[in-house]
Every structure is written in C-alpha cells, then in structure tokens.
Amino acid sequence: MRIDIITVLPELLKSSFEYSIIKRAQNKGIAEIHVHNLRDFCEDKHRRVDDYSFGGDAGMVIKIKPVDNAITFLKSQRDYDEIIYTSPDGESYTQKEANILSLKKNIIILCGHYKGIDQRIRDTYITKEISIGDYVLTGGELAAAIIADSIIRLLPGAISDETSALTDSFQDKLLAPPVYTRPSGYKGLTVPDVLLSGNFKEIEKWKINQSLERTKRLRPDLYDDLMNQE
C-alpha cells in the first residue's frame, strides 16, 4: 500500500511514521508513506498556499491552484483508489472504515488547514471526507497520521501476530475485554481464575461477556446499535 499525504506542515507528520509498527511496515515494504509539502506546488515566489475567502468571512482558505497542482502531479504517476480530505464536517471515522481502506492500494490524504480548502477541490477531486471527532484541530495532519496508522497496522505482516489486530476494540462493534499478564498476583490484586484455567472454551465465553458488559457500560451507543441489529 502507498499513502501520499499533502500538507502545509510536513515536519509535523514525519516523526509519526518513524517508530514502532508503522516504521517496521515500511522497512518490510508492506507500506509506503510519502509526505508532500503543498508549498512545493505553488507557482509564486512566496510559495503562498492561502488567501482570503470570498464573502468576507474571517480566516484564510487554502487556494485551489497549489492543491490542483499537487493532486494532478500525483495522479500522473499512478492511479488512486481514494482521495481523502480530513475535515471536521466529514464522516466520522470508524474501525469499519479503517478495514475498508486497508484493502486499497493507493490513497491520497489531503490535510485540511486554516478555514479549509477551496470548495472546488472538494467537488472535483475528493472521494471521501473524514472527521476523527466532533472537535476542531489546528490542521488535519494529526488526523492524517491517525488514519494512516489505523490502516497500516491492519496490513498482513505489519503486526507479527496478525490475529492481534482482529481482536482490537471496535472490530466486532464491541470494546475489547480487559487483559492481564504476569504475575498472576500482585499486592493482593489477582487475575480472574478463568484466565488461568486453561479451559479455552470458558475463556472465550468470559471474553465475550466482558466485552458486552464493558461496551454496555462505557459505550451504550455502540451496545444499542449492536442489539438493534440482532
């Protein structure tokens, strides 16, 4: 998989992809991440990417020309399955969407900034708009890093134990059950007996019950959606 990220703040992103699972996935050739500075696609000597909006609204808007130049250049190199724009008014990002995107080959992520981008870019190029929550960030760079991380960790070979990603929270619309490790007793705190029993059928039943209980208590919205589907 290849992910190209277009941003006005490339420095903010680079360290996000230089550690842990994402770094190993790149070293193995499982994923490529390329960060592009939008200013490199400006045609004026000041490399200005923003301008005032028509209509007199406060705040600056990313101009159409440099974004058009950047996307046109990338599309001349290869075909892209999705061109994503990170925006607070996009669809809420979920594990289901991460699963879908992990099956793609080439993706562009355009980071929002300032008051947004010229609407004509959204109308012409963008195939999907994503929000990571009902709040506003300074820019879309952190959202782009989250999206890239959530996708790449799902790719075969990115995680040494591939079943680990399949049991993450939200994969089955449930929160993950609590987890424990050695020692089994610590300062009077113990591990549930069932996890020490070796009875894998009972352990699996315990995990399912715990996931249901935790989801109902901590995320009743998810629990209700799950119950309504049954």
Task: Tell me the per-residue pLDDT of 64-112, one tens digit each, with 9 for 90 and over.
Answer: 999 999 999 999 999 999 999 999 999 999 999 999 999 999 999 999 9
**What CA–CA distance (Å, rounded) separates 139 from 37?**
14
**What is the domain partition of the chain in residue ranges?**
2-152, 167-229
Task: Tell me the per-residue pLDDT of 31-63, one tens digit each, with 9 for 90 and over.
Answer: 999 999 999 999 888 899 999 988 878 889 999
* Pairing relationship of beta strands 189-190 and 185-186 according to DSSP bridges: antiparallel
Task: Tell me the per-residue pLDDT of 136-152, one tens digit each, with 9 for 90 and over.
Answer: 888 999 999 999 999 99
pLDDT over threshold 90, residue 126: yes
Whose CA is closest to 84, among 8, 6, 26, 1? 6
pTM of the model: 0.85
Domain 167-229: which topology? Trp Operon Repressor; Chain A (1.10.1270)
CATH number 3.40.140.10 given to 2-152: no
